[in-house]
């Protein structure tokens, strides 16, 4: 399992790298351009592209973050390894649900 977690963490990091940069650029663009929430939403609602972009972002983050947190917990606490696995699995699910909710809010369901 360790090997697959290790691979999943590295591969998701490779995907997340450019996604994070685009996301940050987007924030700068929106703030500098003085875009309001409603203007942003008018562009993202119903957009398959943004839906896919942030959908992928959420999935990658929900995999990547908890694996790292599991390593930190294993090193810094004396919790048994099954406990750290359950905690971080829970965190992954939580990230997935919260992330999916925001994607739905920004893109809208079915436009």
Partner 1 sequence: MSLDESISHQSLLKVKVWRGKEDGQWMNYEVPARENQTVLDVVSEIQRKLEPGLAYRYACRVGVCGSCAMTVNGKPRWTCRTHVKKVSGTGELTIEPLRNLPRIKDLVCDLAPFIDTWQKAGAPFSGIQTRHQEPAKVDPGSKARKAADAGLQCINCAVCYSACDVVSWDKDYIGPAGLNRAWTLINDARHGKRAETFNKAFGEGGCGSCHSQGNCTRHCPIGLSPSESITGLKKSALFGLPKV
CB 49, CB 60: distance < 8 Å: no
Residues 33, 34, 49, 75: which binds partner 1 (CB under 8 A)?
A: 75
Q: Does 47 bind partner 1 (CB under 8 A)?
A: no
Q: Does 32 bind partner 1 (CB under 8 A)?
A: no
Q: Centre a 10 Å sphere on the Cβ of residue 100 and count the other Cβ atoms it contains.
A: 15
Q: Which of the ranges 1-9, 47-55, 89-97, 102-110 carries the binding residues for partner 1, by CB under 8 A?
A: 1-9
Q: Does 109 bind partner 1 (CB under 8 A)?
A: no
Based on CB atoms, which residue is closest to partner 1, 44 or 84?
84
Query: C-alpha angle 31/33/35, rounded to 5°?
Result: 70
């Amino acid at each position: 399992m360790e090997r697959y977690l290790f691979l999943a963490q590295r591969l998701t990091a490779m995907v997340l790298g450019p996604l994070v940069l685009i996301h940050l650029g987007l924030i700068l663009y929106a703030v500098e351009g003085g875009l309001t929430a409603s203007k942003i939403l008018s562009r993202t609602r119903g957009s398959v592209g943004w839906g896919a972009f942030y959908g992928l972002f959420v999935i990658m983050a929900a995999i990547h973050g908890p694996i790292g947190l599991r390593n930190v917990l294993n090193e810094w606490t004396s919790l048994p390894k099954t406990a750290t696995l359950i905690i971080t699995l829970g965190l992954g699910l939580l990230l997935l649900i919260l992330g999916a909710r925001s994607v739905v809010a920004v893109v809208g369901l079915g436009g």
